[in-house]
A and B are shown apart, each in its own frame.
Chain A
Amino acid sequence: MFLKEYFLDIYKATKSLLTGMKLTGYYFTHHKEILTEEYPENRKNLQLAERFRGEVIMPHDANNEHTCTGCSSCEIACPNGSIKIISKFDITPEGKKKKAIDQHIYHLELCTMCGLCVEACPTDAIKMANTFEHSVFNRNHLIKRLNKPGSKIREGIEE
């Protein structure tokens, strides 16, 4: 009886070891499975995942309009203070004062790409971009203004 178990042990062990070797052997002979990307060489056709978080951007449409209301939700959500909202007051045609965005300052050098600002935004005005080549010689270049000069909020966002 114990002999049967003894040989069964050997059989099972050999089988499981061979299963492992079969997989690594497959990987060894099939180089198309290799996952490594050779980055500087494949820069032209680099495929990044949709959810890759490279930097925060504010998309503008063709009329140079964005959807940011200047509500400061992103500034509050940011854990390390890399967003600064400078707001201004527009005068509506009815003569009322209305809060609007003047400058959306984004400190890339402080950002940890956590994405909390994008989640906090009620109007989906900002999102994470795929770009990741951020190195510059002067760190002042990392302080970015996200809303383009002369841009304004799109009609019908705030209601």
Chain B
Amino acid sequence: MFSLEGITNFIHEWLNSHLSAIFALLAEFVLVGVAAIGLFAFLGLVLVWMERKVAAVMQLRLGPNRLGPKGIFQTSADTLKLIMKEALTPDNADKLLFNLAPFVVIIVAMLILAPISFAKNFQIWDINIGVLYVTAISSLSVIGVLMAGWSSGNKYSLLGAMRSGAQIVSYELSAGLSILTIIVLTGSLKISDIVASQENGWWIFKGHIPAIIAFVIFIIASTAETNRAPFDLAEAESELTAGFHTEYGGMKFALFFLAEYINIFIVCAIGATLFLGGWMPFHIGHWVAFNHIMDYIPSSFWFFGKTGFLIFLIMWFRWTFPRLRIDQLLNLEWKYLLPISMFNLLLMSVMAIMGWYF
């Protein structure tokens, strides 16, 4: 049976039998870095293509359909074009910050990858405060966005960056509270513990209505945190041209673009881990035979399937809903999502104490 765990164990043993312990560790660091960059490139190419296809079909169009079967190589060609373009720095930009910002954004995206569990025992770093780490690091990405907007020396960019700052700061609250709702049930911040606690059913089923409310709030908040429509005020291409990355071109723009899709993948992976059981197959209570059949599907398939479903959901939102105004955006967060998620957390705590969940 296919499993990523077997591959990593084989590499680990092979390196340790041929190299000394320190060099084996260093070689593993390099391999993990290469794998992460490879995953980024793959996700960038596939998710952009998927987005364009989903958008096209929902708008009764065909989307990219010339380069390769169903236009699958279109994004590779676009990347090639972006690589060959000139990386321009505007005259009145703050040169250092302007050139640093895309890398800050992409490095933040790369850091959040560390505690995510892609398959059974396939994880870069199983830190015991995994979920806290993710929420802490993901709020850093706003610094890159503010950096880009401020240093461009362009009022549209600055407006976009400020909007993005207000948005991420407010929506982090309800995202954090909805994550806490599940943490109350698991009693652990460690990703592997959270996944293991869903062995007899995913939290979205086991946690009744509060878990479903938390899931909905989490999806809304993470859509806002990744600056995607209907919350794409930071870009708002019709009012701000492109918001904080107006002045960027070529590969520096591509890094922002890539970071957007990486962030989508990451929030969806977190959502899948917390609410849909991560790599855990679909198990129902004590149905031993059924659970056994489900176990035959490799855990990495489960993880990527769930994450892919959530990514599709977020794309579905983007191509259905109109963009919110800034006051509507903040109203939604402070008047609706935050009170509801606080009440929801209280309800979930009561449920956890009384043991009213499966």
Name the distance in Å between A50's Cβ and chain B's nearest Cβ: 22
Report if A33-B60 is in contact (Cβ < 8 Å); known contacts: A21-B316, A24-B316.
yes
Residue of B nearest to A30 (CB): B57
Does A34 make an interface contact (CB < 8 A)?
yes
Decide if B62 touches A38 in the complex (CB within 8 Å).
yes
Question: Within the assembled complex, what's the spacing in Å between the Cα atoms of A130 and B60?
Answer: 24
Instruction: Indicate which residue in A10, A17, A25, A27 contacts B60 across the interface (CB closer than 8 Å).
Output: A27
Instruction: Indicate which residue in B57, B59, B317, B321 contacts A31 across the interface (CB closer than 8 Å).
Output: B57
Decide if B320 touches A21 in the complex (CB within 8 Å).
yes
Decide if B58 touches A36 in the complex (CB within 8 Å).
no
Report B-chain residues with C-beta under 8 Å of the C-beta of A33: 60
Does B336 make an interface contact (CB < 8 A)?
yes
Does B8 make an interface contact (CB < 8 A)?
no
Report if A34-B61 is in contact (Cβ < 8 Å); known contacts: A10-B336, A28-B54.
yes
Q: State which size class the interface on B falls in.
A: 10 to 19
Report B-chain residues with C-beta under 8 Å of the C-beta of A17: 320-321
Decide if A24 touches B61 in the complex (CB within 8 Å).
no
Give the number of chain A interface residues (Cβ < 8 Å): 15
Name the distance in Å between A29's Cβ and chain B's nearest Cβ: 9
Question: Within the assembled complex, what's the spacing in Å between the Cα atoms of A33 and B317?
Answer: 20
Name the distance in Å between A149's Cβ and chain B's nearest Cβ: 43
Question: Within the assembled complex, what's the spacing in Å between the Cα atoms of A24 and B320?
Answer: 6
Decide if A34 touches B57 in the complex (CB within 8 Å).
yes
Decide if A24 touches B62 in the complex (CB within 8 Å).
no
Contact with B along A31-57 (1 / 0, CB 8 A): 101111010000000000000000000
Does A150 make an interface contact (CB < 8 A)?
no
Does A20 make an interface contact (CB < 8 A)?
yes
Decide if B58 touches A28 in the complex (CB within 8 Å).
yes
Report A-chain residues with C-beta under 8 Å of the C-beta of B57: 27-28, 31, 34
Does B65 make an interface contact (CB < 8 A)?
yes
Decide if A34 touches B316 in the complex (CB within 8 Å).
no
Contact with A along B52-74 (1 / 0, CB 8 A): 00100111111001000000000
Does B253 make an interface contact (CB < 8 A)?
no
Question: Within the assembled complex, what's the spacing in Å between the Cα atoms of A38 and B317?
Answer: 28
Instruction: Indicate which residue in A10, A20, A38 contacts B321 across the interface (CB closer than 8 Å).
Output: A20
Residue of A nearest to B322 (CB): A20
Question: Within the assembled complex, what's the spacing in Å between the Cα atoms of A38 and B71?
Answer: 13
Does B103 make an interface contact (CB < 8 A)?
no
Does B319 make an interface contact (CB < 8 A)?
yes
Question: Within the assembled complex, what's the spacing in Å between the Cα atoms of A51 and B317?
Answer: 37
Report if A36-B61 is in contact (Cβ < 8 Å); known contacts: A10-B336, A28-B54.
yes
Name the distance in Å between A154's Cβ and chain B's nearest Cβ: 46
Decide if A27 touches B62 in the complex (CB within 8 Å).
no
Report A-chain residues with C-beta under 8 Å of the C-beta of B60: 27, 33-36
Report A-chain residues with C-beta under 8 Å of the C-beta of B321: 17, 20
Decide if B65 touches A24 in the complex (CB within 8 Å).
no
Report if A36-B54 is in contact (Cβ < 8 Å); known contacts: A10-B336, A20-B321.
no
Report A-chain residues with C-beta under 8 Å of the C-beta of B65: 38
Instruction: Indicate which residue in B54, B61, B320 contacts A20 across the interface (CB closer than 8 Å).
Output: B320
Residue of B nearest to A23 (CB): B320
Decide if B62 touches A34 in the complex (CB within 8 Å).
yes
Question: Within the assembled complex, what's the spacing in Å between the Cα atoms of A20 and B58?
Answer: 11
Question: Within the assembled complex, what's the spacing in Å between the Cα atoms of A21 and B336?
Answer: 21
Q: Of residues B59, B60, B316, B320, which shows the largest number of chain A Cβ atoms within 10 Å of its Cβ?
A: B320
Question: Within the assembled complex, what's the spacing in Å between the Cα atoms of A40 and B319?
Answer: 29
Q: Of residues B54, B57, B316, which shows the largest number of chain A Cβ atoms within 10 Å of its Cβ?
A: B57
Contact with B along A1-37 (1 / 0, CB 8 A): 0000000001000000100110111011001011110
Listed in ascending order, the chain A residues whose CB lies under 8 Å from chain B are 10, 17, 20-21, 23-25, 27-28, 31, 33-36, 38
Given contacts A23-B320, A24-B316, A27-B59, 6 further A-B contacts (CB under 8 A): A24-B320, A27-B57, A27-B58, A31-B57, A34-B60, A38-B62
Which 7 pairs, one residue from A and one from B, show the smallest C-beta to C-beta distance? A36-B62, A24-B58, A24-B320, A20-B320, A35-B60, A36-B61, A21-B320
Give 5 CB contacts A-B under 8 Å: A20-B321, A21-B317, A23-B320, A24-B316, A28-B316
